[in-house]
A and B are shown apart, each in its own frame.
Chain A
Amino acid sequence: MGLSGIEIFKKLPKTNCGKCGVPTCLAFAMKLATGQAELDACPDISENVKEEIGLASAPPVRTVVIGIGERATKIGGETVLFRHEKRFENPPAFTLLLSDNMDDLEISSRLSGFNNAVYERVSVVMKPELVAIRGDSADPLRFNTLVEKICNETDAGLILMNEDVEALSQAVRKCSGRKPLIYAATMENYEILGSLALELSCPLAVKGDGLEELADVCDKLIGMGLKDLVLDSGARNALEDQIIIRRCALMKKTKAFGFPTIVFPCLMTGNLMKETIIACQMIAKYGGIIVLSEIEGYSIFPLLLARMNIFTDPQRPMTVEEKIYEIGAVNENSPVLITGNFSLTYFIVSGEVEASHVPAYLLIKDTEGLSVLTAWAAGKFGADTIALFVKKSGIEEKIKHRRLVIPGYLAAISGELEEELPDWEILIGPREASHLPAYLKQLSA
């Protein structure tokens, strides 16, 4: 990426006015360099310098937005080849493909599959983002009617696809307020579609027959002043092209490839199971938009989870809410267990409790996403803080007994905890979650 903190500092006003919220210009520059501050926070910087720094610090893969309002979907913005180097920024947009050759019934059934596929996990809502409408019928009216219908039936971001430039332009003009992605500029039509995308400020997909032609068309469009492009190398076995495009953008600063990509697993196979596997490859290796033929619960749900995993920030652990979780048909005699709020800890412990078929209360204490031992070492899971949480959690009103199971790794604090919670008996659970079913069965026997 772009400039170092010192290089940015040289371009700042050096007034140390503090209006940006940071006491000195140098400190502000350092924050800019690491992406922790926005340039706009400085009121005294000139437009020229702003552009200069903005360009230099822009990610090598441009962030492109499709759709508007709550359904605006960001793709691209990537800065690394491997997630462990920093993090992946914007998850690939899962997209449902509809064709104007489909009858109304098929359209509605596929669209309802798309609309229903909304899942919540660790307070994050996961769903497919975009709908692509492809003109296959050679009938411009049919295509336009379908675009209109879909606009009325979903707020999702749209991709409009048609080889008939006239029909495509018509449809784009009708819904340009929704900022659809126009698909696709080619060597033959880039002037018309490039002008259209500029005029309506819509993002534009570019399709080339192979990487070289793709780069050529992109360069022409960049020359025309277009900024928001999405790349399709035309390859229908996409891995190699995805890697080359990302590498060129990051390692060579190839301008033509500094954009997110679009890939079509739906065109690489006629089998939804296999399509899902290909989509999964594209999550790992650099797909920007992943177009699918169908959205079925059994296929999209694991894909969404895989995407969430790969796009989790490695530097920030995922957490779950601090509260009492009821697992199974609990009653006033059900056992009470406590652990930390690192999401993985929660998922594994709750999964094992569930597998035990012993209904139980699971107290999740906020440990700032740290695992049990780390949290304890950091003073966030000591006897005092656990006691405080147990008292205010409200668990005492839900149960008749006063027995608390703590993680085996915290055995050392049980004495202290008994002092802090004099009414309670502290039980030491297993060290490993996988031993919970056996432990709980014995406990409740």
Chain B
Amino acid sequence: MRIDIPRVAYTGTIKEITLGRNKNKITIGGESCYPFHLFEGTMPNPPKIAMEVYDSAPEDWPDSAMEPFADVVDDPVAWARKCIDVYGAEMIALQMASTDPNGKNIPADKAAAIAKKVSDEIEVPLIIWGCENVDKDTEVLRSICEICEGRDLIIGPVVEGNYRAIGATAIAYNHTVIASTPIDINLAKQLNILLGNLNVPDDKIIIDPSIGPIGYGLEYTYSVMERIRVAALTQEDERLQYPIILNLAKEVWKIKEVNVSETEAPLYGHKKSRGVLFEALTAQCMLMAGANILIMRHPEAIGLVKESIKDLMNS
């Protein structure tokens, strides 16, 4: 029997966005079909993984996550270099965790100096992720935008409460913004509209729908992403036709089931492999729902997900 494949009538494509500068530019987006539905459309730019680097040594990581970076965690530049030189990172995501007012609360100028140093020492596209405090991020991210002029950074999270200030600064210094909303398709669209009204160019916006890792609300992120892609690709919803980024590692590695030891919970199995799979499976689900950039931590999880992307692109 001849199989007549029922095809989806796609009417839109995801915007293509080029990140970074000089010879190390990376292009994301551009797909004209649902994720990996390659029998009826194209994904000209496979999803990419950005490796995380922290602005100061993390205190709450399990050994298994710390081990690959133990020699560099005190120096963000060395850390970023190791990600690139040893683990082949195509992008770096610098997490400005120590700017958090509830934590170390380092001042904006000090934070900007760290970001500047990292951006000066690496060639690949650089994502700067704030501490997720609306006011502090405004201050810190604006300083970084200024001091890193000409570096074409990707900065976020830009949220409803600070999009004007950060958005305007990003336009002025030619950076890309990450529009972040709390797991809600309508809020995501709304923020994209607001950024558009502010004159942030269409090729400078990436959507962050917010992530719940497996066991912790993954299904909400998953369905918001699928709905975004259905609207973008089949309902001509232009304000949702942007690539999607997920800052997933920091959410995965703090959950209880990843951190409990095998002695305490024998049924959970080998601790390191478990953590690697929690991260890799969270990433895999996000790929199936339409992720373009995944911010990840463990080199083994990254290796697995890279291989999976390659297999899915060639199938």
Contact = CB atoms under 8 A, between A and B. Distances in A.
Contact of A273 (B102, B266, B277): B277
B312 A297 contact: no
A314 B183 CA distance: 13
A215 interface: yes
Nearest to A117: B267
A247 B6 contact: yes
B273 A273 contact: yes
Contacts of A274: 304, 307-308
Contact of A312 (B219, B268, B281, B300): B219
B269 interface: yes
Contact of B254 (A285, A305, A355): A355
Contacts of B223: 82-84, 314
A215 B276 contact: no
Nearest to B216: A347
Interface string A320-336: 00000000000000000
Interface residues of A, number: 57
Contacts of B315: 237, 239-240
Nearest to A303: B281
B164 interface: no
B305 A297 contact: no
A351 interface: yes
B3 A299 contact: no
Contacts of B276: 273
A351 B36 CA distance: 34
A240 B34 CA distance: 12
Interface string A210-232: 01100110010000000000000
A435 B102 contact: yes
A274 B230 CA distance: 29
B216 A299 contact: no
Contacts of A273: 273, 276-277, 280, 300, 304
B278 interface: yes
Contacts of B36: 239
Contacts of B85: none
B269 A305 contact: no
B184 interface: no
Given A277-B281, A354-B256, A297 B269 contact: yes
A285 to B, nearest CB: 6
Interface string A411-445: 00000000000000000000000010010000000
14 contacts: A82-B226, A83-B226, A117-B267, A219-B1, A240-B37, A244-B39, A247-B5, A273-B304, A277-B308, A296-B273, A297-B269, A298-B268, A344-B216, A438-B103
Interface of A: 82-84, 116-119, 121, 211-212, 215-216, 219, 237, 239-240, 243-244, 247-248, 251-252, 254, 256, 273-274, 276-278, 280-281, 283-285, 296-299, 301-303, 305-306, 308-310, 312, 314, 344, 347-348, 350-351, 354-355, 435, 438
Interface of B: 1-6, 36-39, 60, 102-103, 212, 214-220, 222-223, 226-227, 230, 254-257, 266-271, 273-274, 276-278, 280-281, 284-285, 288-289, 300, 304-305, 307-308, 311-312, 315
Given A83-B219, A84-B227, 6 more contacts: A240-B315, A274-B308, A280-B284, A281-B312, A299-B273, A299-B277
